[in-house]
Amino acid sequence: MSHTVGHEPILGKFPGLEWDEEAGALVVPAAQAAKIATWLRDNDAFLLDYCSNVTGVDYLEREIKEKVTNEAGKTETVIRIEPSRMDIVYHLYSMQKQTGPLVLKQRTNREQPEVESLTPVWRSCELQEREVYDLFGVNFMGHPDQRRILMWDEFEGHPMRKDYTEPFDYEWEPTPHDEVLERHQRGKVIV
């Protein structure tokens, strides 16, 4: 099996770099992604020369129910509101050392998402970042050729976002239920 890359040695090198335990990913502070990525690629201990997968994840604002133990020692359910955000995920491997993956995440807001492009570091990001721009509407600073890739140029909106509504398409389900019903109610009306 290929060995996963330990994240501990990286954390100390860059202030602001965080480790997200649940996702198993390094969260890069704003405007430092290219610097950290170049270091990871060129440092002899890592040599992460191969960026495999680039994608975006859209998180809407959501309520999370958590069980918390309070001071009295009782568990109670607390509702916490997690703000919306946009993640750009990079899966890094090393072809020379045959290790990996190390997951790198850039975090940004949903309204005006803007992150640093890693295409100057790894060419493999070129088309995938274009795809994230197209489908999620994330602006990649320093991308050499940021255009729509899958949808046509005149298209408005970003269909992979969770709140995207499809245009009315004259199709109907005789008995809409669950998802279908919900989508009908969002985009069109069943009287």
Partner 1 sequence: MSSPTATAPNYELIQQDGLETSLLEVSMGPHHPSTHGVFRMDVKLDGETVVDLQPVFGYLHRNHEKLAENMSYLASMPFTDRLDYFNSMTNNWAYALAAEKLVEIEVPERAEYLRVIMAELTRLVNHISLVGFFINDLGALGTPLLYAFREREKIMDLFEQASGARMMCNYFRFGGLRNDVPEGWLDRTREVVDRFPDFLDEYEKLLCENEIILSRTQGVGCLSRDLAISAGITGPMLRASGVNYDIRKVDQYGIYNRFKFRVPYTDDDVGDCYDRFMIRMLEMRESIEILKQALRDIPGGDIIGKAPKIFKPKPAEAYARVEGPKGELGFYLIADGTPKPYRYRVRPPSLINLTVLRDMCLSQKIADAVVILGSIDIVLGEVDR
Partner 2 sequence: MTTSNTSPDIDLDNTTRTELERAGVIVSKVDYLYNWARGGSVWPLTFGLACCAIEMIASATSRFDISRFGSEVFRPTPRQADLMIVSGTVTKKMAPQVVRIFNQMPEPKWVIAMGACAISGGPFKQGYNVLKGIDRYIPVDVYLPGCPPRPEAVLQSLNYLQEKIRTQDIKSDPAFTKGRRQYTVPEFTGKDLEPPYNPDVWQPPTNPNVKPLEEATA
> Which residues would be at the binding site for partner 1 (CB under 8 A)?
1-2, 22-25, 41-42, 49-53, 55, 57, 89, 91, 95, 98, 101, 103, 119-124, 126-128, 131, 144, 148-152, 159-160, 179
Q: One symbol per residue from 169 to 188: x for binding partner 2 (CB under 8 A), - otherwise; what is it?
A: xxxx----------x---xx
**Binding of partner 2 at residue 154 (CB under 8 A)?**
yes
Burial (CB count <10 Å: 0-12, 13-18, 19+), residue 7: middle
Q: Cβ closer to partner 2: 73 or 174?
A: 174
Coil, helix or strand for 40? helix
The one segment of 7-15, 66-74, 107-115, 153-161 that binds partner 2 by CB under 8 A: 153-161
Which of 22, 167, 175, 178 is the binder for partner 2 (CB under 8 A)? 167
Using CA atoms in the order 146, 150, 151, 152, what is the torsion angle rounded to 10 degrees? 70
Of 60 and 180, which CB lies nearer to partner 2 in the complex structure?
A: 180
- CA dist., res. 18 & res. 86, Å (int): 16
Helix (H) or strand (E) holding 94: strand 85-94
Task: Say whether 154 sits in a helix, a strand or coil.
Answer: coil
How far does the chain reach from its first CA to its final CA, in angstroms?
Answer: 57
Q: Which of residues 25-84 bind partner 2 (CB under 8 A)?
A: none
